[in-house]
Amino acid sequence: DNTSDLIFLHSVPDGRLLDVNRRAQEVYGYTREEMLRLDVGALSSGEQGYTQQAALAMLRDAAAGTVQVRRWHSKARDGRLFWVEVSLRQAVVGGRQVILVTGRDVGKRMEAERALRESEARYRSVIENISDVFYRTDAEGRLSMVSPSGARLLAYDSVEQMLGIPNAQFWKHPEQREAMLEQLRRHGSVHDYEVELVRRDGEPVMVSTSSAFYRDQEGNILGVEGIFRDITERKAAERALRDSRDFLEKIIDTIPDPIFVKDARHRFVLVNAVLCELADKPREEILGKTDADFFPPEQEVFWSRDDLVLATGEVDVSEEQLTAPNGSVSTIVTKKACYQDAKGNRFVVGVLRDISERILATRAVEESEHRFRSLYTSMTEGVAIHEVLRDDSGAVVDYRLLDVNPSFELLTGIPRDKAVGSIGSALYGMTPPPYLEEFAQVAQTGRPAHFATHFSPMGKHFSISVFSPGPDQFATVFQDISAARNAERALRESRQLLSDILEFLPYATLVVDGQGRVMTWNKAMEDLTGIPAARMLGKGDYAYAVPFYGDARPIMVNLALEPDPGREGQYTGLTRHGDILSGEAYVPNLRGGRYLFVNASVLRDSDGRTVAAIECIDDITNRKQAEAALQESEETFRRIFDGGSDPILLLKGGVFVQCNTAAVQLIGA
């Protein structure tokens, strides 16, 4: 009676109950007398396999000498069903042969085992469906566990193919792994640690990892485990952004006029190479400084006009005197405009034109380099496990969060203790809750899904994978892809900025690609030639020369791409400074014949490869005609001077400087 086990004594012939202990009475809810009047079936659930007949069969086997040990589904007096682990064997009690049955209530243990199996299945399902790569190595550095996404990322046929391989074999640079292990030894973990792995086919792949040592209960290191994330696309977007910015800077540096951008405090934030030459300083010594550091006499005038542009937003054109650092004074025309970025910051964008030697039409650059936004730091995917909630008709109307991982908190800003157990509509403040239709479809069909979305309440873009770990359940595995989306938007804005600068340049400007096809034909070029850009863009085979010469032929932009000494003769005073060609040309087919001053240069990418060429054209016909008229007038007066019959002598400072033929004959010199 004092044991915690249940004890029953059954007679051998018929299996009738002879006695029970106190614990059996407590568990089943009967008195001893009541239980002795019952048959075994009354104490059983009555389900298939747990009936009076099944119980008697066990008793007979035990009476025959076979020890029976199994779990039995029992029923208490109040109808409650519960599990008992029973053992049946022959015994002799008081000189009488009986069947001794001992039992133990294993309901809680079975419930714990079931919960453990469900938990294991749930989290194994997460590991198998995560798009990031979960991995674990043993103490010798061999791969002992990896999610299926690891095989896909590294081009292996299966997870089994990878297990047992030394982890260093997956690293393109094994010394990077040693450096990471040193960080683990110092700090215990690493987060967003960028490394380069190598696929089975030898191709490199960039990843970021968050890893740590895992240990036994005594604190001994058993190996390393963590998450790898493929950041190849992010790196490609960053490179495209850099190339676009470099391309823009090269375009601006090719323009032969000084260009600058100042902030509201008059500090230079962007300058081109020509302005650096004007200031006689390298770019890094100009950025962040003001006019006072380079042009002190003109500082007050420059700043007052800057403030006017910033205050009114109107374009300002002025003619000013500029004293260069070397002491030389030039007359310049400055055109300034106001540019406002997405954050509301205002900038002065200016173009200088030195008109000491020749006066040219100017047009201000109205756009500055767009502020490139930094990408969000890549984080491990967030995971949330849910169960669907149904109304009386069985329709899914909401869901409850059962569990979330730490990255859920990082990505959403919602604490775990607030999220777990919450109803989706209440947690997110939306009815129905976010993406209910997509999530319900996965929970009901078991078919996984994936989609990308912008979640406006959080202002983020997410990539979401959904799968069902169990009946009426779904799990979301999501990552913040806002950084990649922002990088794509910044790239589009940078290209638009480049297009706007070229379109509004005061020079007729032509850009051709490496194959000589027209990429840019700006408004000034349309005005000069009378040909709209729509008719010229994409044209090759020197079609852009026809408006100038009447036939298709290489022009200076082609000489920049492919030098040809035989063609350089069509330009007067041709000079080359690095990649930049300059010279004058007469074009007979343009408006009855015009004189042009031409600059051309190749454009290179960040690796130094030639990808395009640009040509800027200035119409100098009026200046040329004035020079020719002056020369003709001088020759006419010289003929009159020499042919006169009266002697003429010119004196300067008491010295004869010139005389005509009649004077020579008179003097006899």
Q: Would you state the pLDDT for residue 369?
A: 35
Q: Do 615 and 639 have their domain in common?
A: no
Q: Quick: pLDDT tens for 505-548.
A: 778 999 999 899 999 998 988 998 999 999 999 999 999 999 99
User: Could you tell me the strand order of the sheet in which 96-105 lies?
Assistant: 17-20, 6-11, 96-105, 81-93, 68-75
Tell me the pLDDT of the chain averaged across its residues.
Answer: 83
- Three-state DSSP state, 470: coil
Are the C-beta atoms of 404 and 424 separated by less than 8 Å? no
DSSP 153: H
pLDDT of 126 reads 56
Confidence of residue 604 (pLDDT cuts 50, 70, 90): confident
Residues 377, 89: Cα–Cα separation, whole Å: 67
Does the pLDDT value for residue 375 go beyond 50? no
pLDDT band for position 298 (cuts 50, 70, 90): low
In a domain, 372, yes or no: no
Mean pLDDT, residues 633-654: 73
pLDDT at 426: 93
* CA-atom Rg of the chain in angstroms: 45
Closest CA to 442 of 464, 414, 420: 464
526 & 613 share domain: yes
Residues 119, 91, single domain; the answer is no
The predicted structure's pLDDT at residue 305? 82
Identify the three-state secondary structure at position 544. helix
Considering 105, 125, 151, which residue would you say is the last residue of a domain?
A: 105
Asked if the structure places residue 278 within a domain, the reply is yes
Which of 427, 424, 431 is closest to 414 using CA atoms? 427
Mean pLDDT, residues 342-369 taken together: 62
Supply 309's token pair: 């542009």
Q: Pick the more confident residue, 107 or 579.
A: 579
Q: What is the pLDDT of residue 491?
A: 58
Q: How confident is the model at residue 74 (pLDDT cuts 50, 70, 90)?
A: very high
Percent of the chain at pLDDT > 70 equals: 88
Residues 225 and 129 reside in one and the same domain:
yes
Copy the structure tokens of residue 369: 């380099």
Split at pLDDT 50, 70, 90, the class of 600 is very high
- Residue 141 in any domain: the answer is yes
pLDDT of residue 177 exceeding 70:
yes
Query: Is the pLDDT assigned to residue 580 strictly greater than 70?
Result: yes
pLDDT in tens, 396-423: 999 999 998 888 988 889 999 999 999 9
Instruction: Determine, yes or no, domain membership for 400.
Output: yes
Rounded Cα distance between 403 and 473, Å, is 12
pLDDT in tens, 1-33: 778 889 999 998 888 999 999 998 999 999 999
- Note whether 524 and 582 are same-domain residues: yes
The residue out of 485, 517, 546 marking a domain boundary is 485
- Helices vs. strands in the chain: H and E counts, helices first: 22, 28
1 belongs to a structural domain: no
- Identify the band that residue 482 occupies on the pLDDT scale cut at 50, 70 and 90: confident
What is the reported pLDDT for 501? 62
Each residue of 236-274: pLDDT tens digit? 777 887 787 778 777 777 777 888 898 988 898 888 888
Q: Please report the pLDDT score of residue 439 as a whole number.
A: 94
The size of the chain, in residues, is 669
Q: What is the pLDDT of residues 94-150, one digit of tens each?
A: 788 899 999 988 877 777 667 666 665 565 655 555 668 888 999 888 988 888 888
Instruction: Please check whether residue 366 lies inside any domain of the structure.
Output: no
User: Per the domain annotation, does 367 fall within a domain?
Assistant: no
**Are residues 143 and 66 part of one domain?**
no
Asked whether residue 188 carries a pLDDT value surpassing 60, the answer given is yes
195 and 165 part of one domain: yes
589 and 662, same structural domain? no
Residue 473 has what pLDDT?
A: 94
Q: How confident is the model at residue 297 (pLDDT cuts 50, 70, 90)?
A: low
Claim to verify: residue 439 and residue 388 sit in the same structural domain = yes
* pLDDT at 318 exceeding the cut of 60: yes
DSSP for 195-239, written as a single string: EEEE-TTS-EEEEEEEEEEEE-TT--EEEEEEEEEE-HHHHHHHH
Report how many domains make up the chain: 6
- Has residue 500 got a pLDDT over 90? no
- Tell whether 263 is covered by a domain: yes
Give the per-residue pLDDT at 649. Answer: 76
Same domain, 615 and 513: yes
pLDDT at 372: 28
Q: Are 270 and 260 in contact (CB under 8 A)?
A: yes
Answer with the residue of higher pLDDT: 181 or 377: 181
Q: CB 389: neighbour CB atoms within 10 A?
A: 15
What is d(CA 464, CA 471) in angstroms, rounded to the nearest whole number? Answer: 20
Place of tokens 């405009």: 337
Mark whether 332 and 427 lie in a shared domain: no
Q: What is the pLDDT of residue 13?
A: 81
The residue range of the domain holding 643 is 633-667
Say whether both 177 and 100 belong to one domain.
Answer: no
* Residue 371 clears pLDDT 60, i.e. is over it: no
* CATH number of the structural domain spanning residue 73: 3.30.450.20
